[in-house]
Chain A
Amino acid sequence: GDSVTQMEGPVTLSEEAFLTINCTYTATGYPSLFWYVQYPGEGLQLLLKATKADDKGSNKGFEATYRKETTSFHLEKGSVQVSDSAVYFCALSTYSGGGADGLTFGKGTHLIIQP
């Protein structure tokens, strides 16, 4: 079945550091890829997405490029802020007639930014 693998962390960085959170996937279909962010005590918010190979999703300074050849969708940000501290989930969606069998999440990466 489909799967998403990402580092669980915690990942601890200093403010203004460069961020990379790796995400790789396996899927039987041709998936869309997503990054979600979860702040403490809140639900998941969609951060960015990409629907086909070589697409780059971007939002709030975060970027991720859909790499079909390496089955990856790594999240990057050039200069992190304390307010970026959160849990980040990589996810994929494939069309398999609808339902949860087409939606798969990674285990989440806890990011801590120190001032």
Chain B
Amino acid sequence: SQTIHQWPATLVQPVGSPLSLECTVEGTSNPNLYWYRQAAGRGLQLLFYSVGIGQISSEVPQNLSASRPQDRQFILSSKKLLLSDSGFYLCAWRVTGNTEAFFGQGTRLTVV
């Protein structure tokens, strides 16, 4: 069966520090991968998605970047965090088609 791992679960970082969040998927090949952000009490904001290794689409221009160095690995990064980067970050995967997405457990990022 397929599983998705996302870490860390919680992170507190100072303003101006770098960020690296990692997401890996097991049990499937060539998944579509997604990074979402959820501000407190708000809906999902799509940040990045990837349909293959090295292929990244950015939905919202901002202080973040994403990379997909391996088929089932998706990384969210920042060189210098802003206070506004605080939020709940969710990784997800699905296969191409009229299919559902499966989510990781999320990372709570607080920038102080």
Determine if chain A interacts with chain B: yes
Give the number of chain A interface residues (Cβ < 8 Å): 29
* Bound: A31/B100 CA distance, A: 11
User: What per-residue 1/0 map shows which CB atoms of A12-33 lie under 8 Å from chain B?
Assistant: 0000000000000000001110
Is the Cβ of B32 less than 8 Å from the Cβ of A99?
Answer: yes
Residue in contact with B98 in the complex, picked from A44, A94, A97, CB distance below 8 Å: A94
Q: Are A100 and B44 in contact (CB under 8 A)?
A: no
Task: Please determine whether A98 and B103 come into contact, CB atoms closer than 8 angstroms.
Answer: no
Q: Is B98 a contact partner of A51 (Cβ separation < 8 A)? A: yes
- Among A49, A93, A107, find the residue whose CB has the most chain B CB atoms closer than 10 A: A93
| Chain B 62-79 interface mask (CB, 8 Å, partner A; 1/0) | 000000000000000000
Residue of B nearest to A44 (CB): B103
State which of B43, B57, B94, B99 has its C-beta within 8 Å of the C-beta of A108: B43
Interface size class of B (residues with CB under 8 A): 20 to 34
Q: Which of B44, B59, B102 counts the most A-chain CB atoms under 10 A from its CB?
A: B44
Name the residue on B nearest A8 (C-beta). B43
Q: Are A98 and B51 in contact (CB under 8 A)?
A: yes
CB under 8 Å from chain A, chain B span 64-112: 90, 92, 94, 96-106, 108
Could you tell me which B residues sit within 8 Å of A by CB distance? 6, 32, 34, 41-44, 46, 49, 51, 57, 59, 90, 92, 94, 96-106, 108
Q: Which of A87-103 contact B (CB under 8 A)?
A: 89, 91, 93-95, 97-100, 102-103
Task: Specify the chain B residue showing the minimal Cβ separation from A34.
Answer: B100
Contact yes or no, A31 B90, CB < 8 A: no
Given contacts A32-B98, A100-B49, 5 further A-B contacts (CB under 8 A): A43-B104, A44-B92, A95-B97, A99-B51, A100-B34
Residue interface mask A69-96, B partner, CB < 8 A = 1 = 0000000000000000000010101110
Q: How far in angstroms is the closest Cβ of chain B from A96?
A: 10
Within 8 Å CB of A110, what residues of B?
Answer: 41
Complex Cα spacing A31 to B99, Å: 9
